Amino acid sequence: MRNTYTREKRTLCGESYMEVDLYAITPEEHRAKRRKKYRPSSERQKRRNAQHAHRRRLQKSNANFTVLGFYLTLTYAEEYLPESMEQAEKDLRNYIRRLKTAILAAFGPGFALRYMGLTGCGRKSERYHHHLLIECPGLTMRQNADFRQLLEDKWSARQPDGSYELLGTANADRLNLQNRLDDLITYFEKHGQLRWYESRSLIQPVELVPNDTRWSRKQLRKGCTDCKDSAYWWEQKYPGWKFVRCVVPEPESPGCEKEGWDADDLRCYVVMVKQKVGHAFAKPRT
């Protein structure tokens, strides 16, 4: 049976970032009917699931971290190098606890720490280290500079005499949002052995109710081909939003099994950010 609907699914990540998925669906999917899963996922589907997980992490990062956030890298000196992933995780938990205590002492109550990232082990060096996106919303510029110093100073361990000594190097770099954090999340995922972390205070992306009637197959094909990189065309479709990029999945190798929502090659997703007028965000036309 031919697909007769084109689904538009919008995902809002905070106030200024949005992703729009466009793909063809069957009448059964339009009626919200889904067959029961009766066999393991194919290798193709597993790859698609990994891509979906990557996008979900990217959406969360863009919903929570701004130019006032930091990309934090924590490494170990030789004498403090952990022997296991469990010990490295414990070090990071202790670090976060000390950091929260320091934030409360320095800035007072009311500031919730946001972070997401990983503990990883180098493929060649086999040395444990940590990568985090981290931010403390609500701080002034002066306080944020002090917060950056705390990030680097609190990577330490208590000594028998009661003093603290640095565990290794701690580098906190300001976030560059030019590529919407895609490069950093991709780099995080290249680690072989890793454990992911997320703070409970993270803002979760919001998926709006899908619309199956706004787009036609002809428009979808045009968006995936001729107008793929046309900022004007996409911004006319979504007033108040600025076009960043349109991603059309590359075709798989011949002979790969296709199943479920992946069975049609007409699909894309569009990344957009809120347009600004002066110092405020533009309101979409209604």
- Enumerate domains of the chain plus CATH numbers: 70-198 (3.40.1310), 213-286 (no CATH)
Q: What is the mean pLDDT of residues 156-182?
A: 86
Q: What pairing do the DSSP bridges indicate for beta strands 280-281 and 276-277? A: antiparallel
How far apart, in whole angstroms, are the C-alpha atoms of residue 230 and residue 223? 9
Statement: residue 279 has pLDDT above 50? no
pTM: 0.81
Per-residue pLDDT reduced to its tens digit, 78-101 = 999 999 999 999 999 999 999 999
Residues 6+ apart with CB under 8 A from 113: 96, 99, 100, 103, 134, 135, 136, 199, 201
- Mean pLDDT over residues 191-200, rounded? 87
Task: Pick from 29-33, 51-55, 114-118 the range whose average pLDDT is largest.
Answer: 114-118
Q: How confident is the model at residue 118 (pLDDT cuts 50, 70, 90)?
A: very high
